[in-house]
A and B are shown apart, each in its own frame.
Chain A
Amino acid sequence: MRKSRAMNLGTGLFLLLGFAALFFLTTQTTSHGLSFRSVPHYEVTAKFENIGDLKVGAPVSMAGVQIGRVVNIRFDPRDFKAVVTLRIDDTYNQIPTDSDASIYTQGLLGGQYVGLSPGGSETFLKNHDQIAFTQSALVLENLIGQFLANFNKHSSSSSSGAATGGQPK
């Protein structure tokens, strides 16, 4: 009988530990956490020409401080732009309506995020407003393309000189 009690105790402890580990894995290692309750927030949209590699869940930040998240990205077939829905915490409800939204990259290989920089308007963004001024993501390929185009222009104008200089050789 005593052995059986010790066994039950051991089993109970094991089950407890196991479920505690499961609970820890689901809540502490993921971003879901215990935040099933949602903080008060409002949503604004912004239209971008190109959102690059922006993903749902990416942070929205202002002066480097995270103030919200990207909750939805869809494509507007009428003007061929990406419509990004930003969910911003209610604590930050004094963002001027003429603020502009840009897509930046975190670090060299980091993910992309939306940065807001404030405008000067006296009226503030409300729920379902749209941010008018946006700046698209820098697409590395386009950037390299532009750089190469410039580089070729420069080198073709200077290479005529270099070609004559190099002739005697």
Chain B
Amino acid sequence: MITELASSLGESIERVGDMCRFLVRIVVQLPRSLTRPQLIVDQIYNTGALSLVIIMLSGLFVGMVLGLQGFELLRRFGSEEALGTAAAIGLVKELGPVVTALLFAGRAGTALASEIGLMRATDQLSAMEMMAVDPVRRVVAPRFLGGVITMPLLAAIFSLIGIYGAQLVGVQMMHVDSGSFWSQMQASVDLRDVNEGIVKSGVFGVACSLIAVYEGYHSEPTAEGVGAATTRTVVTSAVVVLFLDYLITAFFLK
């Protein structure tokens, strides 16, 4: 039992190391894949533009819930005007990047992993190698870069829509004063807070994209293998995102 545990621990450490080596391999190929920007544009469309609806809808509802809960809580202390601050800080620093990353892993990460995994299963990647085309450069690097570019933008859109959602509930429905909603927010949200959110979403973008392309690229070339790779993508992404979130938050604290 202990040896089993030790071997599975060793396996996961091995996987982390392998993932880092894969990241280096992608980064080395990135400049050369930039010579074909159309590939990257296609991937930004696939991961970004197609995720827009789910991101915006989720952002709206998360913001509205935040407005409702925040209002109920703040009313007990008689400071409903701080709702704008609470919603903006919560969204920009935490909920925006984290929820977007989780949605991204579910919407775009799985698509990437299963697409590359199917290419592996149908020997398309081997065929490329036969034609002396590096699949990392042609297939993996553009997808990775697309995801990395997309994530911060999606998180920003999520936060923006969320703030409007909170405003919708707080100001339109609960009649918090619109002026103090915005002015208190502007007075107490710092550029540091926004930066923290942008850094977080950038890091999450790298992590989620890397996990997705790694799992896809290294999946077993069977139908089962592709399915397992897709599942692992979501699970690993979620855990890694939440772990990194704590780390970055601690790092940003003075």
Show the binding face of A for B, using Cβ within 8 Å: 4, 7-8, 10-11, 13-15, 17-19, 21-22, 24-26, 28-33, 107, 109
Contact of B44 among A11, A17, A21, A107 (CB under 8 A): A11
Residue of B nearest to A24 (CB): B160
Q: Give 7 closest A-B pairs by Cβ, nearest first.
A: A18-B153, A21-B156, A14-B49, A10-B49, A21-B160, A11-B45, A22-B156
Show the binding face of B for A, using Cβ within 8 Å: 38, 41-42, 44-45, 48-49, 52, 77, 79, 88, 92, 150, 152-154, 156-157, 159-160, 163, 185-187, 189-191, 193-194, 197-198
Q: Is the CB of A11 within 8 A of B48?
A: yes
New A-B contacts (12) at CB < 8 Å, excluding given A25-B159, A25-B160, A107-B79: A10-B45, A10-B49, A11-B42, A11-B44, A11-B45, A14-B45, A14-B153, A17-B157, A18-B48, A19-B153, A22-B198, A26-B194
The B interface, classified by DSSP as helix, strand, loop or mixed, is: helix
Residues of B contacting A109 in the complex (Cβ-Cβ under 8 angstroms): 77, 79
Contact of A29 among B38, B152, B185 (CB under 8 A): B185
Q: Is the CB of B45 within 8 A of A31?
A: no
When chains A and B are docked, how far (Å) is the Cα of A163 from the Cα of B232? 78
When chains A and B are docked, how far (Å) is the Cα of A31 from the Cα of B42? 37
Q: List 29 A-B contacts (CB under 8 A).
A: A7-B41, A7-B49, A8-B41, A10-B45, A11-B42, A14-B44, A14-B45, A14-B49, A14-B153, A15-B44, A17-B157, A18-B153, A19-B153, A21-B153, A21-B156, A21-B159, A21-B160, A25-B159, A25-B194, A26-B191, A29-B185, A30-B190, A30-B193, A30-B194, A31-B189, A31-B190, A32-B191, A107-B79, A109-B77
